[in-house]
Amino acid sequence: MTRLALELPGLSLENPIMPASGCFGFGREFSQLFNLSELGAIMIKATTEEPRYGNATPRVAETPGGMLNAIGLQNPGLEKVIANELEWLKQFDVPIIANVAGSQTEDYVQVAKEISKVDNVHALELNISCPNVKTGGIAFGTIPETAKELTKRVKEVSEVPVYVKLSPNVTNIVEMAKAVEDGGADGITMINTLIGMRIDLKTGRPVLSNRTGGLSGPAVKPVAVRMVYEVSQQTNLPIIGMGGISTVEDIIEFSLAGADAVAIGTANFVNPFICPELIAELDHYLEQHNVDHISELKGRSWK
């Protein structure tokens, strides 16, 4: 038993660090850089029933300490994700968390049903919080009753535990967390991006072709920490925390706030070696601070 290994619904994690969905593709690019089996898990890019090209470019814009993105759930579609991407990922000894997206309940149910049957998919992450698609997504993520109902429907068909990814673009995050808990969620992942905008001074128009985009990176970390702090006190569900993590100190902060494990997003774009680097550093940090297991730190800020 190491300081980093832990058990969460559906997931036997060798360490609590995994790349966040949308920031790691399906792992192919990073497999040229390090062995993907080193990761705690992989949250693959959102999968929809049909292939999606996504939004027009420009799709990203830099901001102080962060970035806006409006990719628009680009992916090759359920069939190809299962046949090509998940099949390819089977060569690695790492649990996959499949991010499931759609624009109406039936889409989510269909993708969840099929993708949860794949051997290396150990859990689903229900994407009810993508701010960059015109229909669906955001309503599921901002209305508690709708979120609860969708969670229930997906739980009925999924063969693996279901984590729900919460949007920070709500007035009361605790209410959303409780709603998905009532709907039967096995865990929570949080937070998705905050809706933002940049305007080009030369043209006077928004920089992103989608006009708005999701803000991520170190700039959003305090928001995420606060939300994990609030939600972890009000639900019994395990939490995979994310939002601007780029150092081992950030991971400790999320843990103290109440996260069981963490996901790394934007930092993968700045330093593609960040995940394995943080795994090594976290182990070292805990040893230096005489912490026998990462779970000892969980929720210490409010306990």
Residues that bind another protein (CB under 8 A): 22-25, 28-30, 32-33, 45, 50-54, 57-60, 62-67, 69, 71, 74, 76-77, 217-218, 266, 268-273
Tell me the residue length of the chain: 303
- Give 76 or 144: the residue with its C-beta nearer to another protein: 76
| DSSP result, 198-263 | -B-TTTSSBSSTTS-EEEESGGGHHHHHHHHHHHHHH--S-EEE-SS--SHHHHHHHHHHT-SEEE
Least Å distance, CB 119 to another protein, is 24
Least Å distance, CB 23 to another protein, is 7
The SS3 assignment for 7 reads strand
- Distances from the Cα of 246 to the Cαs of 52, 77, 272, in angstroms? 30, 30, 11
- Give 66 or 238: the residue with its C-beta nearer to another protein: 66
- Give 59 or 298: the residue with its C-beta nearer to another protein: 59
Sign of the CA dihedral running 229, 234, 238, 240: negative
Largest pairwise CA distance in the chain: 58
Least Å distance, CB 36 to another protein, is 13
Active site residues: 130
- Give 77 or 184: the residue with its C-beta nearer to another protein: 77
Least Å distance, CB 64 to another protein, is 7
